[in-house]
């Protein structure tokens, strides 16, 4: 149990954890379309790896230094395989949505049937902003990646937290990606 999620898998890197989660969600929805902020770490710092390795088709959930809203997701929703939010949006100046904005985005994702994945690399530092338990924050998303070497200052590593069946499939992708 990590962050109140029923299962977790450990990964050597957050990039691998996130690609595995998105691959499982998009496979299940039979759509490689992923809604993602244009300033997301996966788009800005990974040399186009997620698209090249998995064939993801990225639609910009937001453009520039703004937080994603429920309306942003609704505008892209038909045919999405998954949506990713970064908590906080590092390249946007470490922006975080208000609790109400995050809750509304989560509700919209559930209403639309779009799996919502969180890049929670800095969730340990973000939690005090909302003053909510980590499990409550993670409860708003379907899966979350967390980093061990950022806020926790471990040498390396990451975890993917989510439903047991998602985590089991993600472990298979971890092996496939090496």
For residue 146, CA distances in Å to 20, 76, 125, 126, 136 come to 13, 26, 11, 12, 15
Task: Please give the pLDDT value at position 2.
Answer: 76
Instruction: Find out whether 141 and 118 touch, Cβ atoms under 8 Å.
Output: yes
Q: Is the pLDDT of residue 174 over 70?
A: yes
Angle at alpha carbon of residue 132, lines to 81 and 5, rounded to 5°: 45
Model confidence over 4-55: pLDDT tens digits?
Answer: 888 999 988 888 999 999 999 999 999 999 999 999 999 999 999 999 999 9
Q: Is the pLDDT of residue 154 over 80?
A: no
CA distance 162 to 20: 12
First and final CA of the chain: distance in angstroms? 25
Q: Is the pLDDT of residue 156 over 80?
A: no
Q: Is the pLDDT of residue 155 over 70?
A: no
Label residue 4 exposed, middle or buried (CB < 10 Å: 0-12, 13-18, 19+): middle
Task: Please give the pLDDT value at position 83.
Answer: 98
The residue-averaged pLDDT of 107-128 equals 96
CA distance 34 to 71: 16
Which residues, including other chains, have CB under 8 Å from residue 175's CB and lie 6 or more apart? none
Model confidence over 57-114: pLDDT tens digits?
Answer: 999 999 999 999 999 999 998 999 999 999 999 999 999 999 999 999 999 999 999 9
- 54's enclosing H/E stretch is helix 49-54
Which stretches does DSSP call E strand in 50-125? Answer: 57-60, 82-86, 116-120
Task: Please give the pLDDT value at position 171.
Answer: 96
């Amino acid at each position: 149990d990590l962050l109140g999620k029923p299962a977790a898998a450990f990964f050597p890197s957050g990039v691998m954890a996130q690609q595995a989660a998105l691959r499982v969600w998009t496979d299940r929805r039979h759509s490689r379309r992923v809604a993602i902020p244009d300033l997301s770490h996966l788009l800005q710092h990974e040399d186009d790896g997620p698209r090249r390795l998995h064939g993801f088709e990225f639609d910009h959930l937001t453009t520039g230094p703004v937080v994603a809203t429920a309306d942003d997701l609704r505008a892209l929703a038909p045919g999405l395989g998954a949506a990713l939010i970064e908590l906080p949006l590092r390249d946007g100046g470490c922006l975080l949505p208000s609790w109400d904005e995050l809750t509304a985005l989560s509700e919209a994702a559930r209403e639309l049937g779009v799996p919502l994945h969180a890049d929670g690399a800095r969730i340990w530092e973000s939690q005090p902003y909302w003053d909510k338990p980590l499990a409550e924050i993670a409860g708003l998303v379907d899966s979350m990646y967390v980093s061990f070497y950022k806020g926790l200052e471990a040498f390396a590593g990451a975890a993917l937290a989510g439903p047991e069946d998602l985590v089991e499939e993600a472990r298979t992708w971890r092996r496939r990606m090496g």
